[in-house]
Amino acid sequence: MQALNTLDEFFKRSGAEVAIYHMGRRVTPCPRETLAAFERGETAWPMPWQGQARVAVAFRIGDMAEPAIWFLAFALDEQGMLSPASRDGFLNRLVETLGRNVANVGQNEASSEHFMQDNPLAFTPSLPFQAMLNARATFDQHLPASQHFEPVEAYLSGQQTIDWQALGLQGIADYTVRSDALTQQHLADSITANQFERDVIRPLCLCLEHCVLDERLVMALIERGELAASEGDIETLCACVRAVGASESAAVGRWYLALLEDSAACGPDVLAAIAGRGWEWLEDAERLPLFLHRLAAREDTDFNALVRDIALVPRLRLLVLMTLRDAPEGSAVQSRLAKLAPRH
């Protein structure tokens, strides 16, 4: 078989039906051209996570009954661009497996799984990410939700009293992906009325963090997060911080700023939640310097790792570097940077 230069080239040659999803910071659809341009070395990866570009590639070749799914993590360089060595190794392995027939790897699900075993690019997403991918993919393909959806819908809508412990994470993921404005408003009212146990709120937030939310639901989650903070429930507070991160309401930016201004509220978990799921709100001349200050001032944070992580995000990179450069003399940020400077 002729050499393959990119994964996108493989899918073009095979005639596969392909759907790609980001699997790093959030589970969201990834345009095929985004991956193609990244593979060609033209663009940095838009949503890096822990130094990697993580994607799910769902594809169907020929008469495959079910799509095969590859979870791939591409290594990034310091500019957030593809480090091609691992990708090239993956393609070489693909060519060896295929021989002269590109359809070989997609003959059935078992052959695809066998190909991915011990594959250095393969990774296993967390359970919430797996649930959200399944929910998003079935919704995008106009397929019915899982069997877990109806009990969750009945419980969260108040139509039926169900033991919340019987609710499945997949059902919650299906519910969040399929929720419309009316559903979200009803959910907001239920959260405001404090109708849900915190053990329901937390998995609900794990799914909502991948969705753009209605204004009322954002406000309800902020209120619930503040209640959790007042009770010293850091886990629920962080869940709410993450849940609103993808939303476009200005209330999110105001809440993040208020948390960053409160040294008591802004512990390492909250900082990690903002950086991990609300990173777009750090593209701000007030919030970013304050975030970096809080990060540097606490000894219980991994300053280097978190700064490196957000600096790989293309839209944040320049702003982060400028903010670090302009850190005031004697500041916590400058002190941390001095420790990183090479000694001669």
Taking CB atoms within 8 Å and a gap of at least 24, the contacts of 109-112 are: 109/64, 109/66, 109/68, 112/68, 112/70
Residue 310 CA from chain centroid, whole number: 13
The torsion angles phi and psi of 279, rounded to 5 degrees, stand at -60, -30
**Nearest one of 115, 123, 116 to 49, comparing CA atoms:** 123
Give the residue from 64, 67, 68, 70 showing the smallest Cα distance to 7: 70
Distance from C-alpha of 129 to C-alpha of 41, rounded to nearest angstrom:
27
Give dist(CA 172, CA 132) in Å, integer. Answer: 9
Which residues, including other chains, have CB under 8 Å from residue 152's CB and lie 6 or more apart? 167, 168, 171, 172, 174, 175
| pLDDT on residue 42 | 96
Encode 294-304: b = buried (16+ Cβ within 10 Å), e = exposed. bbbbeeebebe
| Contact present, 222 and 251 (Cβ < 8 Å) | yes
User: Rounded CA gap, 56 and 73, in Å?
Assistant: 9
- Tell me the C-alpha distance between 81 and 86, whole Å: 13
Instruction: List, for the chain, all residue ranges whose pLDDT scores fall below the cut of 50.
Output: 100, 108, 343-344
Distances (CA, A) of 104 to 2, 51, 73, 228: 15, 32, 23, 53
**What are the phi and psi torsion angles at 129 (to 5°)?**
-70, -40
